[in-house]
Amino acid sequence: MTSIRVHNCDDSRPAGQHVRLRVFFSDKVFESHTFIILSAPPSHSYISSPGFLLAARNDGDWTRALDDYTRQQQEPSQVN
């Protein structure tokens, strides 16, 4: 499962809806994919911070590549 937190977004979409998302990484810049909204902004939920939590299953090449890319970005770099 790939999840993405979108900060400071106060759109009026409730949890459970789908959104199309384009993420610019690697050679996948011209692709967009559907994510489901797991949590919504305070106007539609009890979460205090504005923003969305999105999720998609790692079924295809794009979501697997996005998941791999984000995991690489989270690993600390080591300099020898």
Domain segments of the chain as ranges: 2-74
Confidence class for position 47, pLDDT limits 50, 70, 90: low
Report if pTM > 0.75: no
* 76 compared with 72, residue with greater pLDDT: 72
Is the pLDDT at 56 greater than 70? The verdict is: yes
Residue 62 has a pLDDT of: 85
Distance CA(58)–CA(71), nearest Å, equals 13
Task: Using pLDDT thresholds of 50, 70 and 90, give the confidence band for residue 80.
Answer: very low
